[in-house]
Structure 1
């Protein structure tokens, strides 16, 4: 009989399985990825409160290969960190991976996509939110005027109630018509 290191208690693993779209094996694989990001901060064995108190800094999280090339990497970390800082606890990281997993339903993905685009956290996607998204997507290669034209066109086609911003329902209506949304809103662990 070997001395096997226990990363989580049975109760913790069951809780994570209930709250995510992952198996036990996936959860342990996610923990390994999380720990590899910053092994000086993350212990091999998580006790009581550590899964939701130890935070890996945003700067370290952004270096993950799955996030590194994503122009929204900082915003994704901010949305999934409970305090909005972008510094992620293991539970935050697990929530992030779960929402981006291939097993997450479309409505969960749409919900988080909306939150990611809602830069000012006002529960609407307004012109400033859209402009920020366009800057990230195009690596600031468009002029202010070009970004404005694109934003106007988006609102013209998507803003059903004409209030100059997209509600969650308007966003959901648009995004569900995008055939590649599910495949692009994905991170494999």
Structure 2
């Protein structure tokens, strides 16, 4: 454990990241190794193109949206701490972990996962998923498997079923309500740290 502890000391804010994300020291060390692997220029920052080395993302139809989620609208690079915070959304939810009321809800909570997923659709960051934003995701996911008419029909039905206030868009609350029965904790968990 001594060498793990000393290795952890060379990672800035490691203890804070562990507290904030729920990752263990071993997880932080493993993520740091992966970050350094992706950071081929050793700048201490990743650009969107650095994620191309992740085969699973390059073959994922919405991989560009996943990569985009690592970057805020005005930021072209991501540092290690931000990298860890984003990956925390995919950490399996710990049923036994308790929080006091003063701490923010962890990224890997159900609400954190839903907010992250919502942002993958809400590309213009206006707090709503428009019909066009929904169509963009459907086109990427289904590509040539269905016709444009079928895509339009799927989007229309999704909006109609989820849009409770009938403003022709899906708010986060409507998105959350429409996914009440979906096991989002399982669907948005990657066992990438074992």
Shorter-normalised TM range: 0.7 to 0.9
Pairs within 5 Å for 1:1-189: 6=7, 8-9=9-10, 12-42=13-43, 54-83=44-73, 87-103=77-93, 104-179=108-183, 181-187=184-190, 188-189=192-193
Q: CA RMSD in A?
A: 2.5
TM-score (norm 2): 0.79
SS at match of 1:80: coil
Contact kept, 8 Å, 1:158 with 1:171, in 2: the verdict is yes
Give, in whole Å, the separation in 1 of the partners of 2:65 and 2:172: 18
Query: How many residue pairs were aligned?
Result: 176
Distance 1:91 1:139, change over 3 A: farther
Give, in whole Å, the separation in 1 of the partners of 2:153 and 2:35: 40
Structure 2 runs not aligned, ≥5 long: 94-107
Alpha-carbon offset, residue 140 of structure 1: 4.5
SS at match of 2:169: coil
What CA deviation, in whole Å up to 9, does each residue of 1:60-87 have, x standing for no partner? 2133144333322221222222345564
TM-score (norm 1): 0.81
Contact kept, 8 Å, 1:58 with 1:77, in 2: the verdict is yes
Structure 1 runs not aligned, ≥5 long: 43-53
Alpha-carbon offset, residue 29 of structure 1: 0.5
